[in-house]
């Protein structure tokens, strides 16, 4: 899939994995529309080729409006990378009682249903574009997590939501094949995002020490590199790629 002279939608695009991916796509000649919440956009880096749009992935109408803006930008919408997500932790039964049921629903709503909403509404627009000589129209990359496979204590909600994204990958690829739209998923391990910048150096070192090789935290630009590789490689479809340095998470 050619990246130059296309439009791309990146959710969670104001920071972390999304910001790195938006910048990498823009550097390759894509007109990138980075979707995020307004407070995040206020602190987002200014990158040539990246336009920030306020949108909440749990609000279908705001997603629809943002996707239509990208689709009407003058170049075909070809690329979607879903990076928006949240990750609060709580045990099913803890000292304070049972897991907050509303919190569980919110995590699934943002991470899983939000991903599906963007995928579906973007696919609707991509399907209207002219295919290339091979019938290709676009590619959607979703973000899961190694927690989808190795969920730790306190990650019941987060792992459920990310496991849902893994389970979505193949049927979505099969559903959208007739429109020339590929669907893949990246499952990152422990990535050095702004969230980890708030913890101590000792804690970060302990996290890195548990990774077989390379024994360090992953970088957002490495996620972006993998996303662009998936976009470039036209025969990758319906697959989940772990990016974790061979990490297998312990129970806690």
Answer yes or no: 158 catalytic.
Answer: yes
Report the candidate in 23, 75, 74 with the shortest Cα–Cα distance to residue 45: 23
CA nearest neighbour of 143 among 51, 55, 58, 227 = 227
Burial pattern 36-69, b for ≥16 Cβ within 10 A else e, equals beeebbeebeebeebbbbbbbbeeeebbbebbeb
Q: Are 7 and 69 in contact (CB under 8 A)?
A: no
The residue from 104, 158, 179, 235 that is catalytic is: 158
Beta bridge partners of 51: 33
Return d(Cα 38, Cα 52) in angstroms, integer.
Answer: 9
The residues annotated as belonging to the active site are 158
């Amino acid at each position: 899939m050619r990246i130059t002279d296309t439009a791309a939608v990146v959710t969670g695009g104001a920071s972390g994995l999304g910001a790195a991916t938006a910048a990498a796509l823009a550097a390759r000649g894509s007109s990138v529309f980075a979707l995020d919440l307004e407070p995040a956009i206020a602190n987002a880096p200014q990158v040539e080729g990246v336009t920030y749009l306020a949108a909440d992935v749990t609000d279908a109408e705001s997603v629809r409006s943002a996707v239509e803006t990208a689709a009407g930008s003058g170049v075909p919408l070809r690329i979607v990378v879903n990076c928006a997500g949240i990750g609060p932790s709580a045990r099913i039964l803890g000292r304070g009682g049972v897991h907050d049921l509303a919190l569980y629903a919110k995590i699934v709503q943002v991470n899983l249903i939000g991903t599906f909403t963007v995928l579906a509404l973007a696919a609707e627009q991509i399907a209207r574009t002219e295919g290339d000589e091979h019938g290709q129209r676009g590619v959607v990359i979703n973000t899961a997590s190694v927690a989808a496979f190795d969920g730790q204590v306190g990650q019941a909600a987060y792992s459920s939501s990310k496991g849902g994204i893994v389970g979505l990958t193949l049927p979505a690829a099969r559903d959208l094949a007739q429109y020339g739209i590929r669907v893949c998923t990246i499952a990152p391990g422990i990535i050095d995002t702004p969230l980890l910048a708030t913890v101590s150096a000792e804690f970060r070192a302990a996290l890195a020490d548990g990774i077989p090789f390379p024994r360090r935290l992953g970088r957002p630009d490495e996620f972006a590199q993998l996303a662009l590789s998936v976009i470039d490689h036209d025969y990758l479809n319906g697959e989940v790629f772990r990016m974790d340095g061979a990490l297998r998470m312990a129970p806690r």
